Structure 1
Amino acid sequence: MTQTMSAVLAEDESLLRQFLKKKLEKLWPELTVVGEAEDGLAAVELIGALKPTVAFLDIRMPELTGLEVATQIADASPDTHIVFVTAYHEYAVAAFERGAVDYVLKPIQEDRLQTTIERLKERIEADDKDAPTLPDNMSQLIATLKREMRSGAEGTPEYMRWIKASLGSTLKLIDVKDVLFFNSDEKYTRVVTETEEALIRKPLRELLDELDPNIFWQIHRGTIVNVNAIAGVTRDFRGDATVKVKNHKETLKVSRPFSHLFKQM
């Protein structure tokens, strides 16, 4: 008898959530997405009510983090397999690889998601009563990650919050959250918001190291876009993608090395 498999997706960014959903539909057609949540509280309610086979949890969400959601659903839905979707790298990868959970790094890569799916299938199909349960294995991992997130321990990214930029002869501090995109030539980088443009001397390669990869994606050798500012993606007859930016007339070209970010969109 074929087992019915279901999933809940918890991710506060709609574009990323829909991207993950479409990738799952392509790579795992037997899995049905039965619920979507934009914050941690909604995720707890959905998972408790629907008891999905799998829950994909963004680590950083409003109301409750993905780690807090995992802790709260341990009793309500003990058979749900947890996959964390995260922008953390070194310490998170090491921790997840040792634990009874899996992870997907942002921006989501299809081959890595396929690996996660295969691991989940093996766990779901295995009827090993001697295997440790998910909540038992998660407790120490979750405690460790929470501690590191709170303390800002080494390995936890500290991202840029403000940009000091030139507007004519005036220096101004720009909140990174207000930036729609960065566009760079050989010497300067344009910082573009809804209301103004400014120039900084920091090259794109340095910006990439300081910006949160959960929010800012490089889509071209000279362009980084704020995911929250993406209004849509269009393609020409060759399949080349162009990003439309919210509240701005300029469009941004996506180069081939980064086109995988927008497949199925």
Structure 2
Amino acid sequence: MKAIIIDDERKSRNVLKILIEENCPKITEIFQAENLLSGIELIKEHNPRLVFLDIEMPEHSGIEILDFIDKDSYNFEIIFTTAYSEYAIKAFQLAAIDYLLKPVTAAVVSNAVVKALNYLTNSNIHKRLEELKTSLKKDNFSKIGLPYSNGIKFVEFKEIVAFKASGMYTETYLIDGSKILVSKPLKHFTELLKNVTYFFKCHRSYFINIQHIVEYSRSDGGFITLSNTLSVPISNDRKEDFLSIVSAL
């Protein structure tokens, strides 16, 4: 399997190349480019399956790859390398795009490659890049990518009714009545959306959108009915916070 590293810093390219060679046996050929345009030429010439792409480079940033490759020509997965701020990292997470935070380590590289290879069949990388580009331009995020068995579905925060823990997966209930089994644990979403004021963790297994609450009942220990008719329990230690929040609605 071929991979290409695109980074303007030679030292960063060489370090990453060594880490890939030592920890990612499925990658058998690695090519390097010092800028985006040279990297585009290598992509067209070698048809790689993975591209490690620095987000911030002189002349052209990594995200500008959208301007040079037709959307139907993306038969590879991208892993960004970045020293960007927490804000930008959140944009990567919401767009379901993997990234390596510099300085990179062997374990992080190995895990990122495994995840990227799992995405290859249903990558939809062009759409995820568009979402990332949009998010990086905004002051506030409003959309999230939900990885599932057939690809990644992008939804507005407001379209999510609730998240329910299901082992290392999360059942995501949407306003249209559909349910998606997402290949992320519930903790991923509680951390990612902790600053979105209308999401509330009412129970260790549930993270709900309070905008979709229809009814709260004190019977049976207390439960909440949501707009999709889903009934969810509320933990005793969360009732006071919950009542305080809903009283302000």
Tell me the distance in 1 between the aligned counterparts of 2:66 and 2:45.
15
Instruction: Name the counterpart of 2:39.
Output: 43
**Do 2:78 and 2:116's aligned partners in 1 also have CA atoms closer than 8 Å?**
no
Q: CA deviation at 1:70?
A: 4.3
How many pairs does the alignment contain? 140
Aligned counterparts, 1:90-109, within 5 A: 90-109=86-105
Aligned counterparts, 1:207-246, within 5 A: none
Give the secondary structure class of the aligned counterpart of 1:64: coil
**Do 2:7 and 2:57's aligned partners in 1 also have CA atoms closer than 8 Å?**
yes
Tell me the distance in 2 between the aligned counterparts of 1:26 and 1:132.
25
Give the secondary structure class of the aligned counterpart of 2:5: strand
Which of the residues 69, 75, 80 maps onto 2:76? 80
Tell me the distance in 1 between the aligned counterparts of 2:30 and 2:22.
16
In the alignment, residue 101 of structure 1 is paired with which amino acid? I
Tell me the distance in 2 between the aligned counterparts of 1:80 and 1:70.
13
In the alignment, residue 43 of structure 1 is paired with which amino acid? G
Q: CA deviation at 1:43?
A: 1.2
1:24 and 2:20 equivalent? yes
Give the secondary structure class of the aligned counterpart of 2:38: helix
Aligned counterparts, 1:1-265, within 5 A: 5-75=1-71, 77-124=73-120, 127=121, 131=122, 133-145=124-136, 147=137
**Do 2:77 and 2:117's aligned partners in 1 also have CA atoms closer than 8 Å?**
no
Q: CA deviation at 1:99?
A: 1.8
Q: CA deviation at 1:45?
A: 1.5
Q: Give the TM-score of the pair, scaled to structure 2.
A: 0.51
**Do 1:11 and 1:37's aligned partners in 2 also have CA atoms closer than 8 Å?**
yes
Q: CA deviation at 1:96?
A: 1.4
In the alignment, residue 143 of structure 1 is paired with which amino acid? T
Give the secondary structure class of the aligned counterpart of 1:35: strand
Change (3 A) 1:51 1:109: same
Q: Give the TM-score of the pair, scaled to structure 1.
A: 0.48
Task: Compute the RMSD of aligned alpha carbons.
Answer: 2.2
**Do 1:6 and 1:33's aligned partners in 2 also have CA atoms closer than 8 Å?**
yes
Gaps of 5+ in 2: 141-249
In the alignment, residue 78 of structure 1 is paired with which amino acid? Y
Tell me the distance in 2 between the aligned counterparts of 1:71 and 1:80.
16
Q: Deviation digits for residues 49-99 of structure 1, max 9, x if unmatched?
A: 222101111111123111102442243731110111000131222121222
**Do 2:6 and 2:32's aligned partners in 1 also have CA atoms closer than 8 Å?**
yes
**Worse overlay, 15-24 or 32-41:** 32-41
Give the secondary structure class of the aligned counterpart of 1:8: strand
Change (3 A) 1:99 1:71: farther
Tell me the distance in 1 between the aligned counterparts of 2:123 and 2:21.
29
Change (3 A) 1:132 1:81: closer
In the alignment, residue 12 of structure 2 is paired with which amino acid? L
Change (3 A) 1:50 1:70: farther
Q: CA deviation at 1:37?
A: 0.6
In the alignment, residue 94 of structure 1 is paired with which amino acid? K
In the alignment, residue 111 of structure 1 is paired with which amino acid? A
